[in-house]
Amino acid sequence: MKVRSLNLMPAALALAFLVTVAYWNHFHNAFHFDDSHVIQNNAAIKDLSLWKTYFTDGTTHSSLPTNQGYRPLLTLSFAVDHWLAGRLEDTFHFHLSTFLWFMLQGVLMFFLFLHIMDRAARHALNPWTALFAVGLYMLHTVNAETINYISARSDVLSTVPVVAGLLIFAKAGGWKRHLGLLPVAAGILIKQPAVMYLPIMLAYFALFDLKKDVSGSLHPKNWPLLLKWALPATAVCLGLFMFTQRMTPDTWVPGGNSAFNYAITQPFVILRYFWLFFVPVGLSADSDWEPLDTMADSRFFFGVIFLVAIGLVIVRSSRTEGGRPIAFGLLWFLFALIPTSSIIPLSEVTNDHRMFFPFVGLTLALTWAIARWFYARMEAGPRQFNYWRNIALLAIALLYGAHTFGVVQRNRIWHTSDSLWLDVTIKSPKNGRGLMNYGLALMRQGDIETAMRYYRKALSTNYRNHPYLYVNMASAQNALGHVQEAEQLYRTALEKGPGYPDCHYFYAKWLYDNNRLSEAEFYAKEALRLSPAHEYARGLLGLMEASTGTLLQQAERLAGNDPTPENYLNLSLQLYRSERFEDCIKACERALELRPDYADAWNNICSAHNAMGQWKLGIAACEKALAIRPDHQLARNNLNWAKKELGS
């Protein structure tokens, strides 16, 4: 056995080298998707001294309120990478960190797989089979979707603790088996799906410790033994799950709509994931799949039939000791999909990086099934052994080569926003977000007209009501010199997304660029109120702070020399900026003396009362503004804010 281990080491090092080569062209790939609000625009990660707040304040995870989950260890990892990098222009440190954890996972998977294989049926080739399984997983084209997507590091960092925890549970004895809960606890503080360690661990205990099949392990006589390990794991996993739920800000939303439509779509989605393990083609960073409308859809039946079939395979394979790694691997696959493929409606019904955690189990199941088939043929005699060994080596070389090529190609697609979103528009032509983001990439190249064409295409999809589409269309119109159209689109974005800080920020920036500084400050402050960690809004306010005194003096002179309602309104805004709220109200009252139906003046009075915590007076002023102009979105936002604060 020692000789085999020594022979295995060069092969393991060669595999590590091959994985590194496959991912060599990904270390400088750009930020994408959630990276914008989790890393780039998140002021919280840019000061490592704030690390303690990551554990007490879930809003530090993201500058976007709807995405502010409680993932303190993940946020800490980004803060450390930012500290090491010193800047965000280069993503190398972020990618390197994820890749090193990925490599560690490969090492842990080897020892876990080998242990499970030996528990099922000891064989001299088990170490090589375990190494092959790890190589297949590490080089699998689908996993490139996770490794390239920096924010999806959460899938890597939450999977590693589950593998580590199960390895400790499997290899240790007595009370030391509970030590596996330590890495699992850390995993849950990275991403909640790590709680699936609980059913995965119990499946391992039933199949390999109790040596029972699926039905036999549920017999009442086995309950005391199951509870011995289930109760501590349940206390840790469910306890931490409930804790993370409580620490998650109220602003977080899963993103989907109908739980029923989402749930009936998932059987077919799971079938898709299974198919992609064998044929990883058509991968898209952002799919255009929609939830099914009815259970009468044929895709629902195909999905259900597949789940029934995989259930039968699990039951049948669990009946023999040699087949239990297959049952266990398939159970891992299904358990790991529960957080994303159940009744919790996420914004996308399918996402390719969700396969990272489940594929650990699927790799084990399918590799062991193939290995047993090869073992049976190799044992027929020396000649057959050499023949089937050569066949296996050729198949492995072809398989590894194909996946390495696939990884390199996906790395290239993820390299820039241009390449990624162009690929999405081809693979997912009905995805409005993909069309919009490719238009945004074209705008950065200066091709505004073509960008507008993609924005109009996005308007014909289910993305037509998303506020970001109107923000980007406004930017395009502004670049074309269509100022009035741009402002109307910014206001439309605010109407569709009053709770999105970026809508307020980009309108504020546009106002700032057009020298409407008082209004710009208002919207920038609104962005910062909605998201205190919004780096760009904070920076914009910093730019305006230096000119506060000058602008106030100019407004006072202008109102004194030319006492019009507009000039008094401008003066009120400058007084508001200077936090002279009572003087702000007086300036608005002067404007109302000249124009009693001035809705903007009533809105500014509302803002000043709100700033002083005088919520009832603020509500009264905003209601007067809306009585004059029912479509006054700022007044409606201020009214909602005042009512919310008064209610709390």
Identify whether residues 377 and 443 lie together within a single domain: no
In a domain, 274, yes or no: yes
CA distance 596 to 565: 10
- 252 vs 33, 169, 505, 571, 587, CA distance in Å? 17, 34, 20, 37, 39
The token duo for 28 is 């400088």
Name 346's bridge partners.
Answer: 255
Mean local confidence (pLDDT), 110-118: 97
Distance (Å, whole) CA 91 – CA 147:
13
User: What average pLDDT does this structure show over 150-165?
Assistant: 96
- Residue at a domain's end among 379, 410, 441: 410
**Helices 126-139 and 92-120: angle between axes, nearest 10 degrees:** 150
Residue 114 lies in a domain: yes
Arithmetic mean of pLDDT, 390-406: 93
Please state, rounded to an integer, the average pLDDT across all residues of the chain: 91
Residue 81 lies in a domain: no
Q: What letter represents residue 517's amino acid? A: L
Q: How confident is the model at residue 340 (pLDDT cuts 50, 70, 90)?
A: very high
Phi and psi at residue 18, in whole multiples of 5°? -65, -40
**Least confident among 17-26, 196-205, 566-575:** 566-575
SS3 content of the chain, % helix, strand, coil (to 5): 75, 0, 20
Q: Residue range 144-149: average pLDDT?
A: 96
Domain boundary among 546, 572, 603: 546
Please, which residues have CB within 8 angstroms of residue 151's CB and are 6 or more apart in sequence?
33, 34, 35, 38, 39
Question: What DSSP string runs through 502-542?
Answer: HHHHHHHHHHHHTT-HHHHHHHHHHHHHH-TTBHHHHHHHH
Judge whether 317 lies within some domain: yes
Return the pLDDT at 342: 86
What Å distances lie between residue 551 and 399, 498, 509, 528, 576, CA to CA? Answer: 68, 28, 17, 22, 12
pLDDT in tens, 205-252: 999 999 988 888 878 888 888 888 899 999 999 999 999 999 998 888
Residue 48, domain member (yes or no) = no
384 in the same domain as 427: no
In a shared domain, residues 353 and 421: no
CB 214 within 8 A of CB 327: yes
Same domain, 539 and 631: no
Domain contains 44: no
The pLDDT score that the predictor gives to residue 552 is: 77
The tens digit of pLDDT for each residue in 589-636 reads 999 999 999 999 999 999 999 999 999 999 999 999 999 998 887 888
Residue of 486, 420, 484, 479 whose CA lies nearest to 451:
479
Residues 567, 539 within the same domain: no
Average pLDDT over residues 320-338: 96
State how far the Cα of 45 lies from the Cα of 37, in Å rounded to an integer.
11
Domain end (from 431, 448, 481): 481
Q: Is the pLDDT of residue 14 over 90?
A: yes
The whole-number pLDDT of residue 550 equals 66
Beta carbons of 132 and 9 less than 8 angstroms apart: no
Rounded CA gap, 254 and 344, in Å? Answer: 8
Domain count, the chain: 4
CB 316 within 8 A of CB 284: no
Range of 28-37, 268-277, 444-453, 520-529 with top mean pLDDT: 268-277
| Alpha carbon distance 258, 240 (integer Å) | 27
Cβ neighbours of 78 (radius 10 Å): 24
Which domain, by its residues, includes 450?
Answer: 416-481
- Band (pLDDT 50/70/90 cuts) for residue 279 is very high
Q: What is the CATH number of the domain that holds 614?
A: 1.25.40.10
> Is the separation of the CB atoms in 222 and 212 below 8 Å?
yes
Residue 304 near residue 450, CB atoms below 8 Å: no
* Mean pLDDT, residues 57-74 taken together: 90
Burial call 267-293: b when 16+ CB within 10 Å, e when fewer: bbbbbbbbebbeebeebbbbbbbebbe
Where residue 189 falls among pLDDT bands split at 50, 70, 90? very high
Res 602: pLDDT: 94
Domain shared by 248 and 298, yes or no: yes
pLDDT, tens only, 486-504 = 999 999 999 998 888 999 9
Pick from 78, 148, 67: which is nearest to 356 by CA?
148
Backbone phi, psi, residue 42, to 5°: -105, 105
Cβ neighbours of residue 135 closer than 8 Å, sequence gap 6 or more: 15, 18, 19, 396, 400
- Give CA–CA dist 137/255, Å, rounded: 30
Write out 25-72 in H/E/C secondary structure. HHCCCCCCCCHHHHHHCEHHHHCHHHHHHHHCCHHHHCCCHHHCCCCH
Q: Indicate if 557 and 539 belong to the same structural domain.
A: no
Considering the domain architecture, whether residues 448 and 594 belong to the same structural domain is answered as no
pLDDT of 516 higher than 90? no
Residues 449 and 524 in one domain: no
Task: Specify whether 234 is located in the same domain as 293.
Answer: yes
* 232 and 367 both lie in a single domain: yes
Residue with the larger pLDDT of the pair 348 and 333: 333
| 138-147, 222-231, 541-550, 576-585: the lowest-pLDDT one | 541-550
- Asked if residue 581 belongs to a domain, the reply is yes
pLDDT at 626: 94
Within a domain: 74: no
383 and 448 together in one domain: no
Token pair of 141 as six digits: 């084209």
Can you give the pLDDT at residue 76? 96
